[in-house]
Each structure stands twice: as C-alpha cells, then as structure tokens.
Amino acid sequence: MAISVGLVAVVALLLFGLYGGVSFSPGGPSEGQTPTADVTGGFAGAGPLVGFPVVVPAGLPAGWQPNSFSYTDPSSTVGAGVDTGGPAAVRGGWLTAEGRFVTLIESSGPVTQVLATELGTVGSTTGTEKVGDTQWRLTTGRRGEAAWFRTVDGVTYLITGSAPAADFRAVARAVAAPA
C-alpha cells in the first residue's frame, strides 16, 4: 500500500510540475511578467458607466506600464466584480520605469467618503503641492503611502502609491483641469 501511495504522489508531482503549478528557484524569486491593462481606454469609456465626466490622463511618461483598471458602478456600488460600498469611482494604475506604482482615482463622492473608501482612513492634510495652476492637498494612505487629492466641479481626484513626488506631479499634470 505504501508503494501505491508513493507512486501516486510521484505521478501527481510530475503532472503538477509539467503544467506550471510548481516552480523551483533556489536563488530566490525571479522576475515575472507584470500584468497589463488598457487604462487609457478604461478612462475613455468610463464616463457613461459611472455618471460623471471622467478625465483621461494624457502625457504620462513613456516608460510607465499601465497595469490596473477598475470602476465602481454608482447604482450598485459593484464594479469590476468588487463590492466596495463606496461612491462611483474610476481607478487606473501604472508601474513606473523605476518599478514603483502610482494610482489615479476619480470619483463623484464627497472627498471624505472618497478618502475613507480608497485609503481606508481620513487622515489630516499634511501640506499642499502646486502643480501648474492646480493646488493638491497631501495626506497619507495605506501602508504610509503618499496621497494627493483635490476636488474640481464635484469630482474628487486622488493620486496614491509608492512612487516619488515627481511621478505624482506627472499624474497631476496629466489630469490638469481648471480649478
């Protein structure tokens, strides 16, 4: 009986290994393929889905890889299969050339609700940053990440992530709108 169980285990491990279920990397994790998403197309088509005017980010650095997009449906607060319980929102994320990430959220909800939903908390404003003609307020998000936000014509714009301030400025310029 032990031989039979051993034989079944060997066959199972071989099949598991052949179909990509197992990897062996004695030197540590290896670089994998980064997910991609049509962030520009997502923002471009999201307006009718969320019920507010969505700004499509333009002029982001060429080395950035768009890697995530989601939205929250205003009628059910369920978007892209995820129940957020928050206001209507559109989210796009990029991996920068340096391997950091930055996310842009546009939402029709009140700023305190957007911050609570997206950051998990509503911290105090820690300062401001002027980019072009727009003024952004600064706070911190999950895991101590930076978060910049502003509201224009009832739409709250929130930038968050692990990227440095220069990358946040690039996103701020990409969604510049008259204040």
Q: Which of 11-15, 18-22, 83-87, 119-123 is predicted with the least confidence, judged by mean pLDDT?
A: 18-22
Distance CA 140, CA 126 (A): 8
Reported in sequence order, the residue ranges of 63-141 that DSSP labels E, i.e. its strands, are 65-72, 78-79, 82-83, 89-95, 101-107, 127-131, 134-140
Which residues are within 8 A (CB) of 96 and not within 5 positions of it... i.e. 6 or more apart? Answer: 61, 63, 64, 102, 163, 167
Distance CA 110, CA 154 (A): 8
Distance CA 86, CA 30 (A): 37
At residue 160, the pLDDT reads 95
| Cα 176–chain centre separation | 19
Quick: pLDDT tens for 36-86.
Answer: 888 999 999 999 999 999 999 999 999 999 999 999 887 655 444 454 567
Mean pLDDT of all residues in the chain? Answer: 83
127-131 sheet: strands from edge to edge:
65-72, 89-95, 101-107, 155-161, 146-152, 134-140, 127-131
Q: What is the pTM of this model?
A: 0.76
Please tell me which residue, 77 or 93, carries the higher pLDDT value.
93
CATH topology of domain 39-174: Phosphorylase Kinase; domain 1 (3.30.200)
Domain boundaries, the chain: 39-174
Please tell me which residue, 130 or 84, carries the higher pLDDT value.
130
